[in-house]
Amino acid sequence: MASVYSDDYQRVIRALKKARKERRITQAQLAEALGKPQSFIAKVESGERRLDVVEFVHLSRLVGIVPEVVLDGIGKNIRLLEPADK
């Protein structure tokens, strides 16, 4: 199943998955630490399920990633919006 999520989002998920694997943490172990079924992690990593910000922070910390470091690279090409004229 192809993901419809943005490149930025896919980079975040790849970083989480890479960190999990580098630390030799199984999907089952990570899911247990979160109080979720293993299928939750599988669906997140495959793009079937999208993480909310709280889940992202919890997952990041469990696999040893500083959430702010991952988030710092997101949206670098987005310009700030100017306030509308009254």
- The CA R_g of the chain, rounded to the nearest whole Å, is 15
- Find tokens 């793009």 and name the residue: 47
Say how far apart CA 86 and CA 73 lie, in whole Å.
Answer: 34
Cα–Cα separations (whole angstroms), residue 76 to 53, 68, 70, 72: 18, 14, 12, 8
Say how far apart CA 3 and CA 10 lie, in whole Å.
Answer: 8
Q: Name the packing angle between helices 7-22 and 38-46 (round to 10°).
A: 130
What's the confidence (pLDDT) of residue 1? 44
pTM, two decimals, is 0.81
Q: Which tens digits make up the pLDDT trace of 39-83?
A: 999 999 999 999 999 999 999 999 999 999 888 878 777 777 788
7-67 folds as 434 Repressor (Amino-terminal Domain) (1.10.260)
